[in-house]
């Protein structure tokens, strides 16, 4: 089928926790994946071997060019190093979140005059940026995926300025195992950012026990099953968000 109607190859710029989870879901759904990171294709050999014949490693520019859709899943402070020329004309899925302790302070984000995805869109002026897969942790992103129509299917929010691009991302999301809830434009995408009601916690059935060691907390994180959050609840939580 034409590239505009079906995603056959998913390009990934960044292949860490979220990127790896999306790559595994994509391969399980029958898609091809082209993985990349800032350290070079050779550093992804183990992940490629795990994923099998539908995966290969490349440079970020090569992954950008190969993908029918491209996922940008790098630390936000590196957003301006995304290959804008190679991504021109592409729909780019932005999974990135602003964590000041890691990314440094960004005045526009601290002041609420822009969203992190708006900064990404400004850098990728020739692309259509869609915010998605940013409000769920990597482990539950992988384990909560369910086929379309299955009981207990979870939903995730998406935001973007281009309706056709959002529709393409929603179709990919459906293929990977999730319902999509449109929460508006990139200017509205703060509603799914860290600290909002829809961010991470709804997908946990209980809060982490207090007083646990780091090792115990990580074991709890891995052992705790995800809680599927339906589309109507995602909509409610996003609408209840208060900025700042």
Q: Among 53, 63, 62, 61, which residue's Cα sits nearest to residue 19?
A: 63
Question: Based on the number of CB atoms within 10 Å of its own CB, is 165 exposed (0-12), middle (13-18) or buried (19 or more)?
Answer: buried
What's the confidence (pLDDT) of residue 99? 96
How many residues comprise the chain? 244
* Total-model pTM: 0.94
- Residues 54 and 79: beta-carbon distance below 8 Å: no
Phi-psi group of 12: left, alpha or beta (phi > 0 → left; psi -120 to 50 → alpha; rest → beta): beta
Kindly list the domain boundaries of the chain, sorted by start residue.
9-237
Alpha-carbon distances, residue 146 vs 43, 46, 174, 221 (angstroms): 30, 26, 9, 20
What's the confidence (pLDDT) of residue 136? 97
DSSP state of 33: E
Q: Among 202, 196, 188, which residue's Cα sits nearest to residue 231?
A: 202
What's the confidence (pLDDT) of residue 7? 74
Instruction: List the pLDDT tens digit at each of the 244 positions of the chain.
Output: 333 457 799 999 999 999 999 999 999 999 999 999 999 999 999 999 999 999 999 999 999 999 999 999 999 999 999 999 999 999 999 999 999 999 999 999 999 999 999 999 999 999 999 999 999 999 999 999 999 999 999 999 999 999 999 999 999 999 999 999 999 999 999 999 999 999 999 999 888 888 889 899 888 888 888 999 999 999 999 999 998 7
CATH T-level assignment (fold) for domain 9-237: Rossmann fold (3.40.50)
What's the confidence (pLDDT) of residue 225? 86
Calculated CA dihedral for residues 178, 179, 182, 188, nearest 10 degrees: -40
What's the confidence (pLDDT) of residue 21? 97
What's the confidence (pLDDT) of residue 106? 93
Which tokens in the block code for residue 41? 């294709």
DSSP state of 203: G
Which tokens in the block code for residue 186? 């990139």
What does the DSSP assignment read for 80-143?
GGS-HHHHTT-EEEE-----HHHH---HHHHTTSS-HHHHHHHHTTTSEEEE-S-SS-HHHHHH
Gyration radius (Cα) of the chain, Å = 17
Pairing mode of beta strands 128-131, 155-160: antiparallel
- Residues 34 and 44: beta-carbon distance below 8 Å: no
């Amino acid at each position: 089928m034409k590239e505009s109607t079906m995603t056959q190859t998913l390009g990934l710029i960044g292949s860490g926790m979220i990127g790896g989870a999306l790559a595994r879901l994509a391969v399980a759904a029958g898609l091809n994946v082209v993985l990349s990171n800032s350290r070079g294709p050779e550093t992804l050999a183990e992940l490629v071997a795990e994923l099998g014949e539908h995966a290969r490693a490349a440079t970020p520019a090569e992954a950008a060019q190969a993908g029918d859709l491209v996922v940008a899943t790098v630390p936000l402070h590196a957003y301006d190093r995304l290959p804008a020329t190679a991504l021109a004309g592409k729909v780019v899925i932005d999974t990135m979140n602003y964590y000041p302790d890691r990314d440094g302070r960004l005045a526009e984000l601290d002041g609420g005059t822009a969203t992190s995805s708006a900064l990404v869109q400004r850098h990728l002026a020739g692309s259509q940026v869609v915010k998605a897969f940013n409000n769920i942790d990597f482990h539950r992103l992988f384990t909560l995926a369910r086929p379309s129509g299955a009981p207990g299917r979870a939903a995730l929010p998406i935001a973007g300025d281009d309706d056709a691009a959002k529709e393409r991302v929603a179709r990919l999301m459906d293929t990977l195992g999730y319902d999509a809830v449109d929460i508006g434009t990139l200017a509205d995408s703060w509603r799914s950012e860290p600290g909002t009601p829809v961010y991470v916690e709804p997908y946990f059935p209980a809060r982490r026990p207090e007083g646990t060691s780091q090792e115990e907390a990580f074991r709890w994180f891995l052992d705790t099953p995800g809680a599927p959050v339906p589309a109507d609840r995602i909509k409610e939580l996003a609408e209840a968000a208060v900025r700042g």
